[in-house]
């Protein structure tokens, strides 16, 4: 099924486990780096080995007219290095107005600071001289209207059309664009916030949102668990709440909230399923905030308040695995976090495995298997000879320039595939116990791949000798591609889909409604995904007449149908495609369309025209992706690469 499987190469020797309970004393490894503080975060200026933020206090005002957040950030600091006299923070396009330190008697005195030149990726290093090593430092600042981690929507860009909307997206390193921070996963902190906004705007944060809070323009929040900076989140707009259970519910615009509540009403069952497998949910409430369609991702696992795209609300719960995924982050990612972005699989890969287990428990193994097969097929398309350095789970320092550029196939699919490999080899009961122990052992810590490796050696490989070799284990971590002994999946329902597609391509006879009438989103996704790269216009028209793909409200189908239409020269889809690209900002759904369009001069012109209209409604993260794609295509003025 996967032609890109790599040969299993001899892997490096074992590294001593950091778990004190381990009796094994294996030889050293050239890969080992068990101390997370020693794992340099190349995407942050912070020096967490010298000083760390332990608590953050925010006092902020939201100004929709200026597209600005302004106020103060107060840091409670733990000075680790006795020689340290500076606090280095990450910023991006922030205006720093003042910096002060609190003396032991509570008096605030100015501190000298310097803001470095702006790096296009990292932003500007903020260096604060703290000669007295103050335990508390306060910064007054305001954001730029173009902050990369904030999106400001006019009323016309919302579903209700009456009030403006603002939301954040801090992952991977965008929190620094709206709060000066040690913007690295190696620093975890509690936080509190006082936020003012226009009286008609409900404000929410990744904290203790009160479902019964009055909408009065004055809000307070507290996050008592320590989180890394990328989980800091805020949103404000015309939002109302609907409960799902005593500890879970949905926030959304009034016109969307009932649909969202119905689509996501299995959320409490998902929480209970995850708890039965991996231990108690440790974050209090689990609510979902349905954002406008410009949100650049499917979901964001902000603790206590998952941000979710409305593109998964299609009326049949066929795409609610997204909720299972974001919920799973409550254990994998939020509870146990990667220490550096190049180890992102520790968040996304383990989470994708847990997501699949939740889906299997609630919706059956066949659906879980179909979703895994779809992901693995996409991995096959994504893995190329050109991106082999990013196909390793343990990416080498320097290979990942921008943390937003991690390969989805690596961090999500290969990571989950690795977990399934371990489950299959060690047995589900043993692997479930291992994973639950892993979450408990590293709870509220940020770790490296090497720490995971050492823990697995001590608590899985050494406890079940002879099950797999160290070389087999390490091949997943340190080699590109997929090991040859990876477990394979088959789907019986996909076999029917394959037969119908092959028959149509052979004899022109479309599968009858008696067959396709019961197909799920997953089956239609597989049908479209396995079609030839290009079809005849007549074939496209026949498919469209029978199944109405043009104009579909299902983004998973749209992101496959419209690129096929572009490649096939099926211009009957152009108008609906342009409308989709202008109303949806989720990168996963629109980037395949842009990437197909820019391969011809005609398509590139079409893409530029659509983007000019769509840009005001896109999140800055989405805009950056589109602009990079257009720039790569525009290799010469007026000339684009040929297909």
Strands (E), 107-213: 108-110, 113-115, 124-129, 136-142, 150-153, 165-168, 188-196, 202-205
Which of 47, 100, 301, 326 is labelled catalytic? 326
Instruction: Indicate the helix (H) or strand (E) that contains 98.
Output: strand 95-102
Distance CA 357, CA 419 (A): 11
Q: Are 77 and 47 in contact (CB under 8 A)?
A: no
C-alpha span between 423 and 429 (Å, rounded): 8
Give me the catalytic one of 141, 297, 412, 594: 412
Strand 445-447 relative to strand 336-338: parallel, antiparallel, unpaired? parallel
| CA–CA separation, 279 and 273 (whole Å) | 10
Is 326 catalytic? The answer is yes
What CA–CA distances, in Å, run from 137 to 91, 116, 176, 580? Answer: 16, 19, 17, 47
Residue pointed to by tokens 């109303």: 583
d(CA 16, CA 257): 52
Instruction: Judge contact between 271 and 329, C-beta under 8 A.
Output: no
Q: What is the CA radius of gyration of the chain?
A: 25
Return the bridge partners of 152, or none.
166
Where does 169-298 show beta strands of DSSP type E?
A: 188-196, 202-205, 218-228, 234-237, 240-245, 248-252, 286-290
Let me know if 186 is exposed, middle or buried by CB neighbors in 10 A (0-12, 13-18, 19+). Answer: buried
75 carries an active-site annotation: no
In angstroms, rounded to a whole number, what is the distance separating the alpha carbons of residues 379 and 345? Answer: 14
Alpha-carbon distances, residue 631 vs 593, 601, 627 (angstroms): 15, 13, 6
Between strands 248-252 and 286-290, the pairing is parallel
The Cβ of residue 112 has, within 10 Å, a number of other Cβ atoms equal to: 10
Which residue shows structure tokens 């291992």? 434
What is the spatial distance between Cα 296 and Cα 55, in angstroms, rounded to a whole number?
Answer: 29
**First-to-last C-alpha distance (Å) of the chain:** 26
What is the rounded CA–CA span in Å between residue 412 and residue 167?
Answer: 25
Question: How far is 384 from 147, CA to CA, in rounded Å?
Answer: 33
Strands of the sheet containing 218-228, edge to edge, are: 108-110, 95-102, 136-142, 68-79, 51-63, 188-196, 218-228
Q: Which residues are catalytic?
A: 326, 412
């Amino acid at each position: 099924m996967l032609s890109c499987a790599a040969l299993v190469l001899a892997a490096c020797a074992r590294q001593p486990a950091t778990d004190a309970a381990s009796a094994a004393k294996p030889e050293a490894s050239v890969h080992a780096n068990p101390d997370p503080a020693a794992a340099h975060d190349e995407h942050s200026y912070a020096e967490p080995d010298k000083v760390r933020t332990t608590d953050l206090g925010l006092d902020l005002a939201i100004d929709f007219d200026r597209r600005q957040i302004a106020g103060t950030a107060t840091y409670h600091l733990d000075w680790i290095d006795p020689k340290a006299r500076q606090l280095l923070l990450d910023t991006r396009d922030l205006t720093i107005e003042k910096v002060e330190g609190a003396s032991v008697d509570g008096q605030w005195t100015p501190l000298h600071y310097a803001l470095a030149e702006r790096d296009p990726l990292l932003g500007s290093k903020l260096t604060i001289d703290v000669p007295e090593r103050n335990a508390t430092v306060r910064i007054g600042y305001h954001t730029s209207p173009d902050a990369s981690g904030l999106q400001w929507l006019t009323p016309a860009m919302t579903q209700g059309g009456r009030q403006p909307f603002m939301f954040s997206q801090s992952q991977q390193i965008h929190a620094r664009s709206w709060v000066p921070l040690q913007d690295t996963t190696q620093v975890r902190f509690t936080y509190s916030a006082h936020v003012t906004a226009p009286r008609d705007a409900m404000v929410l944060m990744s904290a203790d949102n009160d479902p019964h809070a009055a909408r009065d323009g004055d809000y307070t929040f507290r996050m008592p668990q320590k989180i890394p900076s990328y989980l800091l989140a805020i949103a404000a707009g015309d939002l109302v709440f609907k409960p799902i259970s005593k500890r879970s519910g949905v926030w959304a615009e009034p016109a969307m909230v009932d649909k969202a509540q119905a689509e996501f009403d299995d959320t409490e069952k998902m929480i209970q399923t995850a708890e039965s497998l991996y231990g108690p949910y440790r974050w209090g409430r689990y609510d979902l905030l349905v954002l406008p369609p410009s949100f650049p991702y499917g979901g964001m696992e902000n603790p206590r308040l998952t941000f979710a795209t409305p593109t998964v609300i299609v009326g049949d719960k066929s795409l609610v695995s997204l909720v299972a995924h974001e919920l799973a982050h409550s254990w994998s990612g939020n509870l146990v976090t990667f220490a550096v972005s190049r180890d992102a699989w520790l968040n996304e890969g383990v989470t994708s495995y847990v997501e699949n287990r939740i889906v299997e428990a609630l919706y059956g193994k066949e659906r879980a298997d179909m979703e895994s097969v779809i992901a693995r097929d996409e991995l096959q398309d994504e893995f190329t000879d050109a991106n082999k350095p990013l196909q390793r789970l343990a990416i080498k320092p320097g290979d990942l320039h921008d943390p937003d550029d991690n390969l989805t196939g690596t961090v999500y699919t290969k990571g989950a595939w690795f977990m399934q490999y371990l489950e299959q080899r060690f047995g589900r009961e043993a692997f479930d116990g291992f994973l639950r122990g892993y979450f408990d052992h590293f709870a509220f810590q940020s770790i490296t791949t090497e720490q995971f490796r050492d823990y697995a050696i001590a608590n899985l490989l050494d406890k079940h000798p002879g099950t797999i070799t160290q070389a087999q284990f390490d091949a997943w971590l340190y080699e590109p591609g997929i090991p040859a002994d990876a477990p394979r999946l088959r789907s019986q329902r996909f076999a029917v889909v394959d037969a119908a597609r092959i028959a149509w391509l052979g004899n022109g006879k479309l599968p009858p409604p008696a067959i396709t009438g019961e197909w799920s989103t997953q089956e239609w996704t597989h049908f479209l995904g396995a079609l030839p790269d290009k079809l005849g216009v007549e074939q496209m028209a026949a498919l469209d007449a029978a199944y109405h793909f043009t104009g579909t409200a299902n983004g998973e189908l749209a992101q496959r149908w419209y690129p096929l239409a572009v490649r096939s020269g099926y211009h009957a889809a152009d108008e609906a495609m342009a409308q989709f690209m202008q109303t949806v900002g989720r990168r996963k759904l629109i980037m395949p369309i842009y990437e197909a369009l820019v391969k011809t001069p005609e398509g590139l012109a079409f893409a530029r025209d659509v983007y000019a209209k769509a840009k005001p409604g896109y999140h800055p993260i989405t805009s950056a992706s589109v602009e990079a794609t257009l720039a790569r295509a525009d290799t010469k003025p007026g000339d684009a690469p040929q297909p």
